[in-house]
Structure 1
Amino acid sequence: MHVKNRAAYLPVNHFVNKPFAMAKHDRPWKCAKRSVIFSSTANSPYNNESFSEKINKVRVSLVQACIANINKVDTMMNGYSGSSDEEAASDSPKTVVHTVWNQSIPINQMSLPKLTRLRQLLSLRHIQDSTFAKYNVRATANGDGLIFPRYTDRVERVGVRQLKPSGLKIFRLTENRNQPGIIEETIPDSSTYVGFFGYHLVKSVDVETVLLFNEADALSVHQAAGKVALAVHDQYGPFQNQLLSLLTELIHVIIWPPPEKYNRGKLLAKSLTSTNCHLISPASCKNMRAADALALPGKGRQLITGVIKACERVEEKSLSTFDKLKELTKEYYYGYGSVSGICKWSRFSALNNYLKGFRLGELTLIGGGSACGKKTFLAEYALDICCQNVPTLWCCLELPVGRLTATLVEQFSKDAFFEENTNQRSFDYWYEEISRLPMYFAKFDKVGFTKLKDIVEVIDRLAASKEVQHIVIDDVTALQEWTLAKNGYDLNLIFSDLRRLAQNRNCHITGSMLLSKFQNSKENNNADTLQQNAVNMQAMKEADNVLVICTKKLAQDITDVEHENFLQIWKTRRGGDLVLSNYIEMNFNRMTKCYTLTVGDRALPEGTWRLCILPLVLVAVISIVVNQLYVPLPDRFAEREKMQVIETVARVLYMYPGKWLELFSTKWQLCWTRLVLNSLAWLCSYAYRSTEPQNVHIHTIMLDDVAARVYIPDKVDTDAAIVYIHGGGFVLLNVDSYDLITRHLAKLTNMITVSIEYRLAPEHKFPAAIDDCERAIVYFLRHAHKLYSINSDKVVLVGDSAGGNLAAVVTQRLLLIYPVVQFVDFMTPSYQMAYRLYGRTALPDPESIVRWMLVYLGLDVEHVPKVLRSDHVDPIRQLQLLQAVQHDQLPPEFLDPSYYKKPPPKLNNTESSEAMHQVQSYLLDWQVSPLLQQDMSDLPKALVLTCEFDPLRDEGYFYVHRLRQAGVNASWIHYNTGFHAMLNIHNEVPLGRQAIQDVATFIRHNLS
């Protein structure tokens, strides 16, 4: 059956390596006359109007459009879309600006007396005409004023020669001849942001940009110094956010305000502290504007250049840079007492490994339960530091001073004076020795009523004669502030004040406090316990170092008083590791009242080594599996790291199980591969639909007993449509698998898209798929397009991979994406590269392509190795067939010698079995190898997309070459890092989204 009028099909290649061509039907139903993409609907059999009537209507419409839009033609030529009739009729600010600007005249058409008077009044006497022209300064329509345009965009960014201004500033001469003056007018008003005067000249390579508050000053700076100068419109109040956002894009801004507006310029400079901003002060410019400086005879240019060089950097006092903080940062690491402290512990050397040293400006808390020896340890802790000439002040809020000094003397001498021992030295000697230490005692009589400010007063009195570096508080909870605290906020203030005191006085504060939580007794969850836990939390928050003495009883009998003490380090702000277990043992000598810290071995609990065996075994197994699974992808592969993971997962899910199932039956292998691939495709589509707004409606229809899915966007703005034939090697994928691509293509083009569900092999062998596609397309062109108001002359046929082959077979007017177009040569450079670089991966490789092709043709897959060796091509036919796939036609970069080796000519036929004769019978069938089509001269212009890492890359280029030889206007886009099927996962591969965008752009361009 013949079709009187054909649809014009646009060829475009599927994801990345299929020719994109439009051609004449080579089927029995092709029409006698050629159809053009933009063909008139007068030739359509569905149009009842005559051709002459339609032409008359078009002529009348064109005349009416020209009359109604005569004032916006210039705007459209400059890259701006014209407004509607209603907008043109309104007095909107944009319309007024464009009207005044379009009616303006060049300044050389003004009367000379008026122009001279304006130059004098506006300080423009020394401005050259070329400078005016560069800044697009024009005259009003009646020649009584000058117009200074303002812009919000750049010529470099928009790419047009002339930009339309977004605002105008007009200076007109008054009509009073006795006292001539200037009337200033701003369109729109000053409250509306309209950009800068001269902003259209800004380029991304401009290093310095001068910002001024007057148009005359901007013209003077540009003429004298050759720098881009902008004039900003000054208004009261803060600067507009749009203005500041444009200025932050500039590399280096120099602000030159008039002397009377210096404070205004200073405010603008502070608003631009994020950029490299400089300000010119009145002293630097000698209280002159730029226009006044240019008027100085003989030295105006030199003066302006010198003033710009003398600009001062604007810096915010509260902001700093790395350059300023270098010495401070260096002091933190290498300064005196920064990290290692001003001294180390000698008696408790174990603390040096964790606290690193005794540092000034820190707060250290030593806590523990009741009667755990925390104050005795605190005394020896402070004595150890004082013995290294660190001035120490004891604040005895609870502990009697006499008892404290007695304990210190015993700890210092390490002798027990109360025992009779003839060998021990006298008390007087040791007391005289300890009195030489720089240690001072402050006694406060009223326990619980001592304020923190009282301690500060004592420190201030000692500071006049003695420098105090270590303050020891025997009980922090004895402060009056602690007694009066009502909640956790008040407790937090106490610790924060102590830490602030240490930082401001450059000293170290050490205090002890009762932490009932750390006692080894079982406590009830009462109010007192909860309050104590809150105290512990505040102490941990503000303190720099927290040392906790924990007690462990040696017997279960509660009457047994023997116990062990352990020191735990719960926090160290600048130190090393924390110790949260019984790791540092405290051995107490009752005779000398001294402590010895013993660091024990961190032995693993009994039986822990058995638990380590399982993780080690798992690590070994995982390492072996990863080593076997890792197959490196090429370095230039798009999204290589991400694709490395995706490819490995795909290989584990369907490739390895498929090879194992192949041992039993090819049918089982095919079922598993279909299940996995379709499931993965459905998951990708579901993820896309759940994250992206879906503005597409889906219908399922029957086209002459062939199922099809129709995608209808919400905003359909054209009567064109897309018919999509999915890929999948003729045997694997279906319409559901391509839902992600067709849905995205419909949204990008705003076109109705139809996806055909043709029958798959091996259940339905060749040419069942071709017959289904042919019947569905013919039915759609005859009847179904009316349901969706589609112009049958604007239908695009799209096919990818195997779908590209079907599209090329069904019609020579096609859109192809890396299609299979030949079954002759599997030794092309792209096939050889696939063998070498990613033959072991889950990506489409020559073996899988040939396998599914044989299944599609209904042939035995045992012939795959023979076909790959080209044993199916006899020497007689080889020279004839290989004319279409000559390797020398490929670009030089495709013939990389690192993986390509030119195959030798075939001398004899190595296989003459009946099965191979069946393979050879398909060689010259254009329905299998569309590349062998003899006549391609009538094909419309085509777009071919190919990608580097695709076995079908060379076939796409061969198709382009054949089209160009036949005189077809064929375009070619090659993605150097792309790979086959990257459009199926375009959510993860940006290059795949770009390829779909290129296809959509081509379609819209040719069907608009």
Structure 2
Amino acid sequence: MEIGTAILIIGFAALAAAFCLLLIGLVYSEAMNSEIPPGVANSGKLRAVHCGLVGIAVGGQILARLGLCSQVGFTRWCTGCIVGRQQPPPPGLRIKDMTFGGVPVRVYEPTAASDQKRRGMMYFHGGGWVVGSIDVYDEVCRHIAKESNTTVVSVGYRLAPEHRFPAHLDDCETATLYFLSVAETEFGVDPGRVVLGGDSAGGNLTAALSQRLAGKRTGDLPSPLALVLIYPALQMADFNLPSYQQNHAVPILFRARTVFYFLQYLNGDMSVCQDVMAGRHIPAELKLHYSKWLAPTNLPPKFRERSDQKPKVATAHDGEVYHIIKDGLQPEFSPLLAEDDVLRLTPPTFILTCEYDVLRDDGILFQKRLKDLGVAVTWQHIPDGFHGIVNFFNRGWLNFPAGKKAMDHIVSYIKTL
């Protein structure tokens, strides 16, 4: 009996060791596919973070194939463990979990006395419309609320793959309209001083919601005071812009992963992923139409020059692929593709971009379009920044100087409003 037990223990140990070796091998293989440019500050730390994220992704894939859980579910669980339990509110800040029109929100209210109605901000978190949460962005929203003396509402909108477009945008609209209707009476916030903001996918939702609200304007509620777009994802027409080519393998957002997130948000059809990356999803007449906004020549020369890659050759479009993704080209999904008369209604806008980010050119092209149309734009660029830097803000060892620089720019802009 003891021999049998010993054999079982040895067998389980061997399986566990084999699993760990397999996981380490897969993580190493994936991590080696990354490219961290020398201009990225704290590159060693970024590589360590990337390895950790790859480990979570690979572990999730293995568990999903074993039928134990979904990869997305495992990623969300791991993220929650990393974030940990919510800390008590710091002095000068009151934090409440609520629901606005059935949408979960977390409200951050400064407690310092104010001689006028306070400024408000709706914050829509990033995470590729798939991950991210109120908890993950708790530190970001605390900092913005306290440092800018702003009542911040962080919105827990629905996520893919459980929910598809436009569920995320609908939730953001519902929460925003509810807040505007009660801002003054329940929170002491001037409804005419409410900012919309978010990062990455949240930047997409911010721009799209601004356009939706402008189209529905009835005069009952005030328009947003301003927009704050932090490395926003703004279009799925062209994944071969210079920033996509230059930063295609820079953590923490790879070019291929960006397409994955867009498709998950849209309809979940991953069969067209390679076609979309190659540009086969856009008919010739639409490519010509979009070129006036998306042409690399619209970028400042320095952003076109940091590349030894040749420009991608346009490929013939596939009608079936276009049919699958065409809803992703409408402005509520790709706000950068809105027509001029829509974009002219955009309120003053702050845009933050990072040099080593596949989404860099989305932000730069959007700010150019807005400026050309007479919209007041404040553009801040982080030369040593990468996608996701605000997520690591004020997280001890995980903090990056570029993240603090980004947060300082964001808070400084909000304080001017």
Range into which the TM-score falls when normalised by the shorter chain? 0.7 to 0.9
2:106 matches 1:709: yes
Matches of 1:933 and 1:815, distance apart in 2: 18
Matches of 2:304 and 2:270, distance apart in 1: 30
Q: Deviation string for 1:360-401 (max 9, x for gaps)? A: xxxxxxxxxxxxxxxxxxxxxxxxxxxxxxxxxxxxxxxxxx
Q: Any residues of structure 2 matched to 1:288-687 within 5 Å, and which?
A: 629=31, 633-652=36-55, 654-661=56-63, 668-680=70-82, 682-683=83-84
Matches of 1:666 and 1:967, distance apart in 2: 54
Show the counterpart of 2:328. Answer: 922
List gaps (5 residues or longer) in structure 1.
Answer: 1-620
Q: Which amino acid aligns with 1:967?
A: G
Show the counterpart of 1:91. Answer: none
Matches of 2:68 and 2:42, distance apart in 1: 33
State which drifts further: 977-986 or 635-644.
Answer: 635-644
Q: CA deviation at 1:849?
A: 1.4
Matches of 1:853 and 1:948, distance apart in 2: 21
Q: Which amino acid aligns with 1:709?
A: R
Show the counterpart of 2:178. Answer: 779
2:408 pairs, out of 997, 1001, 1008, with 997
Q: CA deviation at 1:984?
A: 0.6
Secondary structure of 2:136's match? helix
1:960 pairs, out of 340, 355, 367, with 367
Show the counterpart of 2:260. Answer: 851
Matches of 1:895 and 1:784, distance apart in 2: 44
Q: CA deviation at 1:645?
A: 2.1
2:343 matches 1:931: no
Secondary structure of 2:78's match? helix
Q: CA deviation at 1:638?
A: 2.3
Secondary structure of 2:109's match? strand
Show the counterpart of 2:197. Answer: 798
Q: Any residues of structure 2 matched to 1:42-61 within 5 Å, and which?
A: none
The answer on whether the counterparts of 2:119 and 2:149 sit within 8 Å (CA) in structure 1 is: no
Q: Deviation string for 1:850-877 (max 9, x for gaps)? A: 1121111123112111111111112222
Q: Which amino acid aligns with 2:284?
A: P
Matches of 1:895 and 1:819, distance apart in 2: 19
Matches of 2:138 and 2:202, distance apart in 1: 15
The answer on whether the counterparts of 2:282 and 2:322 sit within 8 Å (CA) in structure 1 is: no
The answer on whether the counterparts of 2:119 and 2:190 sit within 8 Å (CA) in structure 1 is: yes
2:227 matches 1:824: no
Change (3 A) 1:764 1:649: closer
Secondary structure of 2:247's match? helix
Q: Which amino acid aligns with 2:186?
A: L
Show the counterpart of 1:884. Answer: 293
Q: CA deviation at 1:972?
A: 1.4
Matches of 1:734 and 1:666, distance apart in 2: 23
Q: CA deviation at 1:666?
A: 12
Q: CA deviation at 1:699?
A: 0.8
Q: Deviation string for 1:637-690 (max 9, x for gaps)? A: 1222322222222222x122244456578981211222222332x23x76xx58
Matches of 1:890 and 1:784, distance apart in 2: 39
Matches of 1:790 and 1:714, distance apart in 2: 12
2:199 matches 1:810: no
List gaps (5 residues or longer) in structure 2.
Answer: 1-20, 212-223
Matches of 1:965 and 1:926, distance apart in 2: 18
Q: CA deviation at 1:889?
A: 1.1
The aligned length equals 371
The answer on whether the counterparts of 1:716 and 1:752 sit within 8 Å (CA) in structure 2 is: no
The answer on whether the counterparts of 1:824 and 1:882 sit within 8 Å (CA) in structure 2 is: no
Secondary structure of 2:314's match? coil
Secondary structure of 1:922's match? helix
The structure with more radius of gyration: 1
The answer on whether the counterparts of 1:816 and 1:944 sit within 8 Å (CA) in structure 2 is: yes
Q: Which amino acid aligns with 1:639?
A: N
Matches of 1:736 and 1:946, distance apart in 2: 24
Secondary structure of 2:350's match? strand
Change (3 A) 1:666 1:927: farther
Q: Deviation string for 1:778-822 (max 9, x for gaps)? A: 111112441111111111111111111111111144221111111
The answer on whether the counterparts of 1:716 and 1:751 sit within 8 Å (CA) in structure 2 is: no
Matches of 1:1004 and 1:857, distance apart in 2: 35
Secondary structure of 1:791's match? strand
Q: Any residues of structure 2 matched to 1:189-228 within 5 Å, and which?
A: none
2:123 pairs, out of 721, 724, 727, with 724
Change (3 A) 1:834 1:792: same
Matches of 2:363 and 2:73, distance apart in 1: 30
2:169 matches 1:765: no
Q: Any residues of structure 2 matched to 1:680-695 within 5 Å, and which?
A: 680=82, 682-683=83-84, 689=87, 693-695=90-92
Matches of 1:848 and 1:665, distance apart in 2: 23
Q: CA deviation at 1:713?
A: 2.4
Secondary structure of 1:792's match? strand
The answer on whether the counterparts of 1:825 and 1:882 sit within 8 Å (CA) in structure 2 is: no
Secondary structure of 1:794's match? strand
The answer on whether the counterparts of 1:730 and 1:852 sit within 8 Å (CA) in structure 2 is: yes
Q: Any residues of structure 2 matched to 1:945-984 within 5 Å, and which?
A: 945-984=352-391
Change (3 A) 1:903 1:665: farther
Change (3 A) 1:665 1:974: farther
Show the counterpart of 1:700. Answer: 97
Matches of 1:665 and 1:905, distance apart in 2: 41
Q: Deviation string for 1:679-729 (max 9, x for gaps)? A: 32x23x76xx58x95542211222111121101223253511111111111
- TM-score under structure 1 length normalisation: 0.35
Secondary structure of 2:281's match? coil
Q: Which amino acid aligns with 1:932?
A: L
Change (3 A) 1:930 1:664: farther
Q: Deviation string for 1:409-452 (max 9, x for gaps)? A: xxxxxxxxxxxxxxxxxxxxxxxxxxxxxxxxxxxxxxxxxxxx
The answer on whether the counterparts of 2:183 and 2:190 sit within 8 Å (CA) in structure 1 is: no
Matches of 1:708 and 1:693, distance apart in 2: 19
Q: CA deviation at 1:990?
A: 2.1
Q: Deviation string for 1:957-990 (max 9, x for gaps)? A: 0001101110122221111100111111012112
The answer on whether the counterparts of 2:241 and 2:361 sit within 8 Å (CA) in structure 1 is: yes
Matches of 2:28 and 2:70, distance apart in 1: 28
2:289 matches 1:865: no
Change (3 A) 1:939 1:811: closer
Matches of 2:113 and 2:262, distance apart in 1: 38
Matches of 1:850 and 1:892, distance apart in 2: 26
Change (3 A) 1:789 1:758: same
Q: Deviation string for 1:520-564 (max 9, x for gaps)? A: xxxxxxxxxxxxxxxxxxxxxxxxxxxxxxxxxxxxxxxxxxxxx
Matches of 1:674 and 1:858, distance apart in 2: 20
Matches of 1:818 and 1:879, distance apart in 2: 26
Q: Deviation string for 1:497-535 (max 9, x for gaps)? A: xxxxxxxxxxxxxxxxxxxxxxxxxxxxxxxxxxxxxxx
Q: Which amino acid aligns with 2:49?
A: I
Q: CA deviation at 1:632?
A: 5.6
Matches of 1:782 and 1:804, distance apart in 2: 23
The answer on whether the counterparts of 1:805 and 1:819 sit within 8 Å (CA) in structure 2 is: yes
Matches of 1:897 and 1:789, distance apart in 2: 48
Q: Which amino acid aligns with 1:873?
A: I
Q: Which amino acid aligns with 1:890?
A: L
The answer on whether the counterparts of 1:759 and 1:768 sit within 8 Å (CA) in structure 2 is: yes
